[in-house]
Every structure is written in C-alpha cells, then in structure tokens.
Amino acid sequence: MKKRASHYDEKGRVRMVDVSAKPATSRTAAAHAFVRMKPATVASLRRLKSRKGNPLEIARIAGITAAKRTAELIPLCHPLALTHVDVDAKLCQNGIEITTQATTTGPTGVEMEALVAAAVAALTIYDMSKALERGMEITELYLVSKTGGRSGAYARAGKSVRK
C-alpha cells in the first residue's frame, strides 16, 4: 500500500483528518529537544537553580501548558483530552536536554503534543537565558517514540542521552 499525506484530500486540498470512525485507544508519545549553550551559561544556570529557584521548572510548566494547547497552535491538529503530560529539563555539560511524554485515550495520537511540549520548553529556556548568551541553539527536536493507533509502535533508533 502506497503511503500518502493524510492532511490532503483526493483533489490535493488541505483538510483536517476525520477520526470519527476510529476507535479510542491508549496512546503515548515521547519527544526530545536540546538547547545547546556555552559551558559558562550552563554554570550560570546551575548557580541560579541553587540560589534563586530553578529556571528549568518554568520551562517544564511552559511545556506542559503548551502540550494542552497544541490544537490552538497547529492548524489541523485535533484537540485532545490529555490524561498525562510530563516534561523533564536536565542540565548537561553543553546545554539542556528536554524530554517529554504525553498520554491520552482517544482516536488520534499525541505525537504533536509531545513535540510541542519539547519545543516550547526549549524556547522558554532560550527566553530565560538570552541575557546570558544570545548564540544558544535549539537542536535535536524529534519524536522519540509513540504507541497506540493503527500504525502501531514507533521507537527512534540511536537516541543518545547527554552527559
């Protein structure tokens, strides 16, 4: 069977996918992003975390909030009743690694929610750190894994964890 882009009809017009006939199943997704920065910026964030509160916690809350609002950001994305969202931001030697998880029971997957959570958490890190370094890079935004639905499970090969 030849694969086709699901958000286009037979005439090539953009459409929202009709999921009304699909059964509700348990679905999960995990995503990843990395904010690359200079070691001096990481050191400054470590000091802020211990003295004035954790800037990574703001990014975590921003990611969770963003996941819940994904359908408002991505035009053809279905609004979902998320049953769980988790965002983790970890200081590494050369930046901050962000991992996210989203879960729902429904007729469509939560990949976009996990990816939006990772992207917005990374953007929040950038926003909170730009006074320290403007040259940071948001990299490695990708889907790590997903379960549920007609297409089954997916796991990205070769995911590396930062030190």
127 is an active site residue: yes
| Sheet bearing 25-36, strands edge to edge | 82-92, 95-106, 25-36, 137-147, 154-155
Residue whose entry in the numeric block shows the structure tokens 């901050």: 96
Residue whose entry in the numeric block shows the structure tokens 């429904």: 106
Catalytic residue among 9, 86, 88, 127: 127
Under a CB-based contact definition with an 8 Å cutoff, are residues 145 and 155 in contact?
A: yes
Q: Which residues are catalytic?
A: 127
